Every structure is written in C-alpha cells, then in structure tokens.
C-alpha cells in the first residue's frame, strides 16, 4: 500500500483566530493531491507546508459557505500563474453553484479576474516570465474541468474513487455534500458541515477515518441553531459509533472546544460512546493515514 497522508489546511470557522480559520484538507496519494474545500488562506498554508498547488488535480467542495471556498480564486490563479502548461487538467467538483461561481471568477466575458488573465496572456512582461520558468508560447488561458455534482454520484479515477451523499446543513439556501474517498482499500469520509443525518452515517459506514465537523461542546450549543444544523462533540461521537468508523478526526472547531481542557472533556465524553481513536486536528499539520 502506498503512503497516504491527510494535510489539514484549515480546521476552524468563518471567525479567524491565531490557531484556526476556515476549512481545507488535502489527501496526498504518492505524487497526487486531492483537495476538499478551499477556505481562507488555503493556498498560502499549502506553500507553508511545501505542498505545490500544481500537484492538486482534483478539488471537491462540500458547499459554498465562504469559510469553505474563500480562497478559491487565489488557488485557481496561483495554480495557473505558476504553471508551465504541462500540468494535468484541474478537475473541480461541488454542489451548485460551483460552475457559475467559477465562471464569475475567471470567465473571459465578465469574470472578476478576466482582466488579469487577459493581461498575463498578452503582455510581453508576463509572457517573458512564463517562458523563463519553462513555458512555451502561445500561453493558454486556464482550461479547467468544472462540474456541479449531486448526492449519490460516484467519481472514479485510475486509482481512487469519491462517492457523494446529502449533507443536511442550510438547505434550501445552499446545497451541501459529504464525500467518501476510497483508495487502495483505505477509506476517508469528509462530512463537511452537517447535522447528524442518516445519509452521512450510511456513507461513513465502516470507514477508516471520519473527518467530522465538531463546532463546540454539546452543552454549549444545545437549544441553539448550531445544534439543529451542525454537530457538537456528542453528535460527532455518536455518528462515529453508529457508522462503525475506526478513527474520528474532529475539525471545524469553535467556541473554545479547541482549548486543552475543553477538548480533554470532549474526548472523555466521546470515549463513553465511541471506542475508536479520537484525533484533534491542528492547522498546517499532516497525519499519516493507515488502513485499519
């Protein structure tokens, strides 16, 4: 089995602090990087972790709250600007409005960054820089495959597959998906933002890793909208137990759950219902993935 890693770029919320901000994850499979969400500063965090954006060939969005896609234009333009035209075509998947959002960012007619693309594919200064790093003229505009996807789809590539399911979050305002990545007998599920629901439990059943939203201690959110549309630590532990996963990785933390004492309390409570491993994620941290 080849070496596999989970790189946590962001494990926070829309409210930035010195430890956490937004959501973003990369699964490394040998020399290929598969990205899930692209929250604030994801591209900069990648560079800090020695991860080359040009090696990301597939990007999956769970949904389009800004803490999950705010760095999308930075990532798109950085990957293209540093390219020499020999990289694999970037494939981008997500629930609507993934296609329309991409067009609004880099479409040549009225995209927000059309002016930049036009300048960099025409002016001699940019063309010279492109050639200096190994590119050959004419310089091509971005050519990405972008697709809106829905629950119960399966994307299959040569050595991995991704299944989708419905995640219940803020419908009908935004569609949300959870994903299950399968590769070489290893499975890792990304819940995205969701409340406890049967669809996510079924998708996660028997997975090696469950990368699960855990917004706060349960008692901090009980009786609030957060408890109706997201998950606290008891919800996450119950989902992990019912889905019979091996490892629970908590992400999207806020409201003090990431403090040492609060997290210790959360783990103690989770361990009462879930017997597997509980891992607190930290930003710009890499975790080895092993089949259980």
Share of the chain above pLDDT 70, in %: 99
Q: pLDDT at residue 234 above 60? A: yes
pTM for this prediction? 0.96
* pLDDT band at 190; cut points 50, 70, 90: very high
Angle between helices 98-106 and 72-81 (to 10 degrees): 60
CATH top-level class for 4-289? alpha beta
Q: Confirm if 31 and 159 have CB atoms less than 8 A apart.
A: no
Which pLDDT tens digit goes with each residue over 29-51?
Answer: 987 899 999 999 999 999 999 99
Residue carrying the six token digits 């997201």: 230
Q: Confirm if 288 and 48 have CB atoms less than 8 A apart.
A: no
Structure-derived torsion over alpha carbons of residues 256, 262, 264, 266, reported in degrees to the nearest 10:
-90
* pLDDT band at 255; cut points 50, 70, 90: low
Q: Is the dihedral of CA 179, 180, 183, 188 positive or negative?
A: positive
Domain ranges of the chain: 4-289
Alpha helices in 38-196 (DSSP H): 42-48, 66-69, 72-81, 98-106, 114-120, 124-132
Which pLDDT tens digit goes with each residue over 85-112?
Answer: 888 999 999 999 999 999 999 999 999 9
Distances (CA, A) of 62 to 36, 42, 98, 194: 7, 15, 10, 10
The arithmetic mean of pLDDT across residues 213-219, rounded, is 93
* pLDDT band at 239; cut points 50, 70, 90: very high
């Amino acid at each position: 089995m080849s070496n596999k890693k989970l790189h946590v770029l962001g494990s926070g919320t829309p409210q930035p602090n010195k430890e956490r901000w937004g959501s973003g994850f990369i699964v490394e499979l040998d020399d290929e990087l598969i990205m899930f969400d692209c929250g604030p500063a994801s591209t900069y965090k990648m560079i800090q972790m020695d991860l080359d954006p040009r090696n990301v060939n597939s990007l999956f969005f769970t949904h389009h709250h800004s803490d999950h896609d705010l760095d999308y234009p930075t990532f798109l333009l950085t990957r293209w600007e540093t390219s020499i035209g020999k990289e694999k075509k970037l494939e981008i998947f997500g629930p609507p409005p993934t296609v329309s959002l991409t067009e609004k960012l880099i479409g040549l007619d009225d995209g927000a960054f059309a002016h930049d693309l036009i300048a960099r594919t025409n002016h001699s200064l940019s063309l010279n820089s492109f050639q200096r790093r190994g590119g050959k003229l004419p310089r091509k505009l971005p050519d990405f495959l972008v697709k809106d996807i829905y629950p119960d789809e399966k994307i299959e590539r040569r050595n991995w597959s991704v299944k989708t399911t419905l995640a219940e979050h803020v419908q009908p305002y935004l569609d949300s998906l959870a994903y299950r990545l399968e590769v070489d007998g290893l499975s890792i599920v990304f819940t995205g933002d969701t409340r406890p629901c049967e669809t996510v439990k079924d998708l996660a059943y028997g997975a090696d890793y469950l990368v699960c939203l855990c917004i706060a201690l349960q008692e901090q959110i009980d009786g609030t909208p957060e408890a109706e549309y997201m998950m606290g630590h008891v919800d996450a532990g119950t989902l992990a137990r019912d889905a019979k996963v091996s490892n629970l990785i908590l992400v999207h933390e806020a409201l003090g759950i990431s403090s040492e004492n609060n997290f210790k309390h959360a783990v103690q409570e989770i361990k009462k219902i879930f017997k597997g491993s509980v891992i607190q994620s930290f930003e710009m941290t890499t975790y080895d993935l092993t089949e259980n």
